[in-house]
Structure 1
């Protein structure tokens, strides 16, 4: 690797330079693959940055995501008690986030060590497929929770592993197809003007992904609204039967459960919505700083997912305690499931 051609990752537009106009952060950009034209003369003595700090942030996020979700996958895989359909969906979510974290790390590694079109397309495809599977897994979990409440008396007995496996096959099949698009030619390596804010994905490709996300978010929002209505209706019925007051513990825990659902959906929207909207309105000519500023929070959703969907689950908590110290604290073993665990 020559000293004249700086090492460059491939997320953003190729005409980017690290600093211009006095090094303002608004002008901080990521170089790309293939190598850009020679940058303008730098001031005497100015050091050429070897690594984009934003890429280090993405790689660090990927490492944390991979380690955190690998623990969840390992616990579910090794514990025979965690074979219920609900845990299969949680495992699917953890596996998708694990692959997304590995994709971010591999993209960083290949961008600075192995400069090739094939490696670039494969790693970007892996990231697209993994994050797509993560979002679809969240939708599958939402559907499962809605059905388990709507058909509270019969769903758990009638739900079969075949139904869960069908959902898993569908969501992973669609995700793999989306990830294969850059490899099969849907990329902008041959025509830079068609690039989106995430190179080498085309503007049309990112637009399809963004619109699909908005549709999925709308569906999840509708399902969570219905879940809240069901939970509140059940709580009201129980309160009437037992002559509870609004301030009783049962009513408090029910409100806590509804609040938890709001936190789940709000976190999902806060992480992904900025990048989704920005991808629809921007193109490769926009400052790469904006892409990084919206892409990094999107990766944080994969950091938060295990905390919301796995580590709060009583059965997974027990399995984690057994793996870590070989025992289960009494406070964990005796904790009753409440509506806040929905």
Structure 2
């Protein structure tokens, strides 16, 4: 019983049979080498990997980023970095190389893309959960709360891997060509619909969480009296945070919605009836842009992250050989402050988590959090 299935998983004739059934073999793509657009996508993938690697390195080398919020942002950045590698492998092994693959290799290639997509979406959900919990409790993190962050990160990868390996574990259309997807000829249409449903549900949950945060902030702001300036500033930071989140969700939806619509069309459209399904590579290319933009939206909008990245990639431009800071480097490396102790105490009362969540570190905040360092 199990031997025939194992044999099919190792036979590349299965790939040809399924691709021929969906009409994909009629395309020149599966006889020629890499096309110019594929090379362009490869360059984008290299940029995705380089960009996310720099952000991860900046987070790792700066201890002030070693807090729960940045752990989650780092997890999102890691998923985007690995997505860049997954896209590269997908492009290099596509075309004529696809017909030389075994089903196991095919499932691993496509499964990596599903895993990274799931990791990104679930990471966005984890960030939304963290911000919602913080907003409701209105108090900063403590050391024992970091366990929740690592639990969220671990759960995101477990669920992502589980979703990605379901086809190779048996949820596929091998032996039943009529149920096969056109975009992914070895994948069952039911699995495609399941994945889209899960991703859509997660995105809806994210929207609901941020709507709740917005209502909480709006209610608290309306009830504030002018004398409570510290609390008012805190609410304003959350409002700024919500604007950033709106951009993030908007970009994610804009990048992935075309591919999701294509996959929905794939589910409902009979085989060989919708020619647009044969152009899925372009839709995946649009989705790839999301991994390119995520680091910019989440981290480069933070003044401290910008400074950390500039120090990382252009330290010789800012510091002389004898360790002296150049004049041009002062805006990026100077951490001095003229704020009063009262203002610093106000920041401390507002909580470290609010500042980290909004990405708005200031010199007075750093002095409040790290008093010993600021004295040296």
For 1:194 and 1:131, the matched residues in 2 are separated by 23
Q: Kindly indicate whether the alpha-carbon contact (under 8 Å) linking 2:214 and 2:239 is maintained by their aligned counterparts in 1.
A: no
1:211 counterpart = 2:197: yes
**Aligned partner (choices 119, 140, 154) of residue 105 of structure 2:** 119
Change (3 A) 1:329 1:90: farther
Residue 90 of structure 1: CA displacement?
1.0
Taking the TM superposition and a 5 Å limit, the aligned residue runs for 1:319-330 are: 319-326=308-315, 327=318, 329-330=330-331
Q: CA deviation at 1:14?
A: 5.0
Instruction: Name the larger-Rg structure.
Output: 2
Cα distance 1:89–1:122, how it changes in 2: closer, same or farther (>3 A)? same
Partner of 1:136: 122
Could you say if the C-alpha distance between residues 165 and 202 of structure 1 is closer, same or farther in structure 2, counting changes exceeding 3 Å? same
Decide which moves more: 139-148 or 227-236: 227-236
Matched, 1:67 2:67: no
- Report the counterpart of residue 250 of structure 2 in structure 1: 266
In structure 2, C-alpha distance between the alignment counterparts of 1:126 and 1:241, rounded to whole Å: 53
Equivalent-residue separation in structure 1 for 2:130 and 2:69 (angstroms)? 8
Aligned positions, number: 304
Q: How does 1:180-329 map to 2 (within 5 A)?
A: 180-196=165-181, 197-238=183-224, 240-242=225-227, 256-283=240-267, 285=272, 286-287=274-275, 288-326=277-315, 327=318, 329=330
Residue 24 of structure 2 corresponds to which residue in structure 1? 16
Q: Distance in 1 between matches of 2:72 and 2:221?
A: 27
Task: Name 1:164's counterpart in structure 2.
Answer: 149
Asked if 1:148 is matched to 2:137, the reply is no
- For 1:146 and 1:282, locate their aligned partners in 2 and report how far apart those are by CA, in whole Å: 36
Equivalent pair of 2:220/2:235 in contact (CA under 8 Å): no
8 Å contact kept, 1:256–1:339:
no
Q: CA RMSD in A?
A: 3.5
By percentage of residues, which structure has more helix?
2
Question: Unaligned stretches of 5+ in structure 2?
Answer: 1-15, 319-328, 338-346, 348-354, 361-376
Contact between 2:244 and 2:297, CA under 8 Å: does it hold in 1? no
Q: Given that residues 12 and 31 in structure 1 are in contact (C-alpha distance below 8 angstroms), is that contact kept between their aligned partners in structure 2?
A: no
SS in 2 for 1:62: helix
Residues 93-113 of structure 1, C-alpha deviation per residue, up to 9 Å, x if partnerless? Answer: 111111111011112222355
1:185 to 1:309, Cα distance in 2 relative to 1, 3 A:
same
Q: Secondary structure at the match of 2:64?
A: coil
Q: C-alpha displacement at 1:159, in angstroms? A: 5.8
- In the TM superposition, what is the alpha-carbon distance from 1:231 to its structure 2 partner? 3.1
Alignment correspondent of 1:23: none
Which stretches in structure 1 are left out of the alignment for 5+ residues? 1-7, 19-28, 33-47
Structure 2 CA distance for partners of 1:341 and 1:77, relative to 1, 3 Å? closer
In structure 2, relative to structure 1, the CA distance for the partners of 1:332 and 1:191 (3 Å cut) is farther
Match of 2:69 among 63, 80, 86: 86
The answer to whether the Cα contact below 8 Å between 1:313 and 1:341 also exists between their aligned partners in 2 is: yes
CA contact (8 A) 2:19 2:25 kept: no
